[in-house]
Amino acid sequence: MYSSSTCIDESTTSDSLSLSPPSPLLSPAPKSPESPCRVGSGTSVILDSENSIEAESRKLPSSRFKGVVPQPNGRWGAQIYEKHQRVWLGTFVEQGEAARAYDTAAQRFRGRDAVTNFKPLSPENPDDEAELTFLNSHAKAEIVDMLRKHTYNEELEQSRRKHEVDTNGKRLDNNARISHILGGADKLLKSTRQLFEKSVTPSDVGKLNRLVIPKQHAEKHFPLQSYCSSGSASSSSSKGLLLNFKDVTGKVWRFRYSYWNSSQSYVLTKGWSRFVKEKNLKAGDVVGFHRSSEPDQQLFIDWKAKGGSGSGGVLEPVQMVRLFGVNIFQVPGSGSCGGKRNRDVELLAFEWSKKSRVIGAL
């Protein structure tokens, strides 16, 4: 599939529609690039740029990419086979995205000589080193999960940061490494600014599986205009966006964010109930949304128990404690005060995990 003569620049992140596929070695004549919006059921109305083809074709357009299959709604699925079984890699808006997902899986599943749609990662290329390491340090299932959740790039980026810190750290003595790494992590967290907070309502943590984002904040911080604006008489709610938020433990939460016409409100839906469950959120608790500054613009989510003491920042004040001969952070009052449930444990675990890495690295 991939021929070294064709050079696709995969380094650019956004998937522009002008993505030209590698010269199709197998499939017939390349089909015209996807039409902007395809609506509705399995019926696909294909209009070729040249001559309009019959609207009668009930057939789904096949993809010129390996491992990419059409979905009835005009999107694209990615899949790979292993041991006579299909492994589903998720659905994507653009063929190119699906093709990249396939490539990633192929390289994790089949290694060096996997046939890919685009330029494969090469051990010779220093730029690929980090990703290759990343790939092989995760189970296949984990990679698949990331692809399906569309969090692969984020996790990879995260891993790259660590890699860089580590290699920089090699030039420093142990003490310096500690402060370097912690200082770096600190800076990472502190460079986020809070967008807004909301005290969650009973329905936000109830069975509706959604969080209402106050309109004022939603429109200011989470603009939601993109996507199909064709005069669709349907959908009472807009299609929405998928937003990734990182919590203080580093876990990535992916929520669907959309506007519900019925209630004239902006909401986080898919994924939200899992957050409520895992954090054991109760009505009155406060969730905070943050965004890191310019370079990465990453989103963060934080929460604190109802009424809780002061603060409003991402980080609560911490105090050093000595353990195993190494300083670790502790959240003040976590042992004494009873009202904070497991958040302190979580924060503590987070700090500890950072520290563990340091210890392990020593």
Partner DNA sequence: AAATGTGTTGAT
Partner DNA sequence: TCAACACATTTG
The CA radius of gyration of the chain, in Å to the nearest whole number, is 24
Binding mask 256-285 for DNA (x = CB under 7 A): x-x----------xx---------------
**Is residue 89 within 8 Å of 71, Cβ to Cβ?**
no
> Closest Cα partner for 266 from 220, 231, 207?
220
* Residue 81 found at the interface with DNA (CB under 7 A): yes
317 binds DNA per the rule CB under 7 A: no
Cα–Cα dist 192/4, whole Å: 41
Residues in the chain: 362
Pick one of 17, 47, 55, 82: the residue that binds DNA (CB under 7 A).
Answer: 82
Does position 67 bind DNA by CB under 7 A? yes
CA distance 238 to 224: 9
What's the number of CA atoms in the CB half-sphere (13 Å) around residue 362? 15
Taking CB under 7 A as the criterion, the residue among 84, 171, 207, 322 binding DNA is: 84
Least distance from DNA to the Cβ atom of residue 39, Å = 7
Name the one range near DNA by CB under 7 A: 55-63, 118-126, 177-185, 279-287: 55-63
Residues 190-249 that bind DNA (CB under 7 A): 209, 234-235, 237, 239-240
Spatial contact of 120 and 135, defined as CB atoms under 8 Å apart? no
Nearest to residue 25, comparing CAs of 45, 10, 5? 5
- Residue 66 or 291: the one with the smaller Cβ distance to DNA is 66
Comparing CB distances to DNA, the nearer of 105 and 299 is 105
Closest distance of CB 270 from DNA, Å: 2
With contact defined as beta carbons under 8 Å apart, do 65 and 95 qualify? Answer: yes
Binding window for DNA (CB under 7 A); candidates: 16-24, 64-72, 287-295, 309-317: 64-72
Q: How far is CA 187 from CA 69, 176, 288, in A?
A: 43, 16, 19
Q: Which is nearer to DNA, 108 or 355 (CB)?
A: 108
Name the one residue in this structure whose structure tokens are 């010129």: 64
Pick one of 19, 68, 98, 287: the residue that binds DNA (CB under 7 A). Answer: 68
| Residues 140 to 169 in contact with DNA, rule: CB under 7 A | 148
State the DSSP string of 253-313. EEEEEEEETTTTEEEE-TTHHHHHHHHT--TT-EEEEEEE-TTT--EEEEEE-TT--S--S
70 lies in the binding site for DNA (CB under 7 A): yes
CA 299 distance to own-chain centroid: 10
Among positions 20, 30, 32, 42, the unique one binding DNA when judged by CB under 7 A: 42
Measured from the CB atom, is 164 or 278 closer to DNA?
Answer: 278
Closest CB 311 distance from DNA, rounded Å: 32
Q: Contact region for DNA (CB under 7 A) — 73-81, 218-226, 314-322, 324-332?
A: 73-81
- Choices 37-45, 134-142, 182-190, 351-359; region in contact with DNA by CB under 7 A: 37-45
Interaction between residue 334 and DNA (CB under 7 A) = no
Q: What whole-number distance in Å separates Cα of residue 290 and Cα of residue 196? A: 7
Which stretch in 60-68, 196-204, 217-225, 345-353 sits in contact with DNA by CB under 7 A? 60-68
302/288 Cα distance (integer angstroms): 5
Using CB under 7 A, list all residues that contact DNA: 40-42, 58-60, 62-63, 66-73, 75, 77, 79-84, 86, 88, 90-91, 115, 148, 209, 234-235, 237, 239-240, 256, 258, 269-270
